[in-house]
Structure 1
Amino acid sequence: MERCLALELVSTIRHDGDGGVADDLATLQGTARWIRERGSDLAAGVTVDENLRSEVVALRQAVRALFAHSVSPGPPSPADAHRLMPVDRALARLNAAAGREPVAPQLDWPSGGTPAPRLLSAEKDPHLRLVAALARAAIDFLTGPQREDLRACAAPRCVRYFVKKHGRQEWCKPSCGNRARAARHYRRHAAADTDPSRP
């Protein structure tokens, strides 16, 4: 399955397993680990400092606002539904981040292989390259075919976005579906127990 960097970025805010929300980018160490786990292309030459962490978090805030706008009129993720950045500000932040790296499209065609596009960067600062790459990934996702299937997980306490893979999918993963069904079962039985019309 192809990696989706934009979804991975917004998924750095997640359910912590105890009813709260965890932020994988809350610390310098967490941010460095997340960047390293994305692979050497993204992490090349990057040393995470507070300035870079803040830029990645600000970009994530913009992308989450645009994801919420994309799933509308469906509900956005409950993690930040109460404090979403306005869409025009989110667009400006995303486009500014992507525009900070001058790139030239190149055709890569290995012998006996399939031609593929790649971007050649003139930017020397690895921090700028990283933030711009994350912004371009979000632009690619939001302008691509997967955007039509983007959803906010409907499970209790889940804060993730996911790409719907089949017609009836409501949750990002099976454990969220199990949690949603258990909550629905509990509500039904609690309502039945408090119904005064029952003997």
Structure 2
Amino acid sequence: MAARDLVLDLALTIRHDGRGGVTDDLTTPGELARWVLAHADQLAPDLDAAVFAAGDAELADVRELRAAIRALFARAVRPEPPSPADARRLMPSVEALRRVNAAAAAVPTVPRLDWPEGAVPAADSGPARSVGERAALSAALARAAIAFLAGPDRDKLRACHAPRCVRYFLKEHPRQEWCRPACGNRARVARHHERHRVPDRARA
């Protein structure tokens, strides 16, 4: 669940701006730092968000990785069209796969046993060696993307095609067509206007 939510939240930093265009929530190191802090629980233990220092290099890495992830999202929703935010400038799937896998591999992990006193032992994984925050963040995001795209939730992924929406979402029930009720309302209004425009053109 954490991996799924993390990778979806990253993809959704590209969104509709409310005025007919698309906006990007990750355009400055400060915006990236705030996003990382807001996702501290999902990024732990790979990254300590409280001490993470975002710079231009970290921002460029995350934006590049996000482009790769959104390209793989577009592949996952085929034969349906991708989000209109990316439709004209999608990274090729082969390149997107290479970038995601390279980011994940930058921080090799090893199995680790955790066994607190009075509790049952549990296995997880952790970095095989100490790494910098830049590699740790990209690796955590890439691993979340891999876990999501290789898991069962991938089949629920959809691109919302309501007017002005550019979001990806998970289809949670059979009749769901849109990412949010507001998008469904906009789509119904647009369909209503389109149906009533056609006869007007015919009379003209």
How far, CA to CA, are the matches of 1:27 and 1:108 in structure 2? Answer: 37
Unaligned 5+ segments in structure 2 are: none
Structure 1 pair 45–118 and aligned structure 2 pair: CA distance change class (3 A): farther
Q: Tell me the TM-score normalized by structure 2.
A: 0.89
How do residues 1-199 of structure 1 correspond to structure 2 at under 5 angstroms?
A: 4-39=5-40, 41=44, 42=47, 43-108=49-114, 110=116, 116-121=122-127, 122-196=129-203
Structure 1 pair 115–169 and aligned structure 2 pair: CA distance change class (3 A): farther
How far, CA to CA, are the matches of 2:114 and 2:155 in structure 1? Answer: 29
Preserved CA contact (<8 Å) 2:26 2:63: yes
How far, CA to CA, are the matches of 1:173 and 1:88 in structure 2? Answer: 31
Identity percentage of aligned residues: 55
Structure 1 pair 177–112 and aligned structure 2 pair: CA distance change class (3 A): farther
Structure 1 pair 111–87 and aligned structure 2 pair: CA distance change class (3 A): same
How far, CA to CA, are the matches of 1:116 and 1:150 in structure 2? Answer: 31
CA-atom RMSD in angstroms? 1.9
Which segment is superposed worse, 141-150 or 179-188?
A: 179-188
Count matched residues: 197
3-state SS of 2:110 partner: strand
For residue 105 of structure 1, report the CA deviation from its aligned partner.
2.4
Unaligned 5+ segments in structure 1 are: none
Q: Tell me the TM-score normalized by structure 1.
A: 0.91
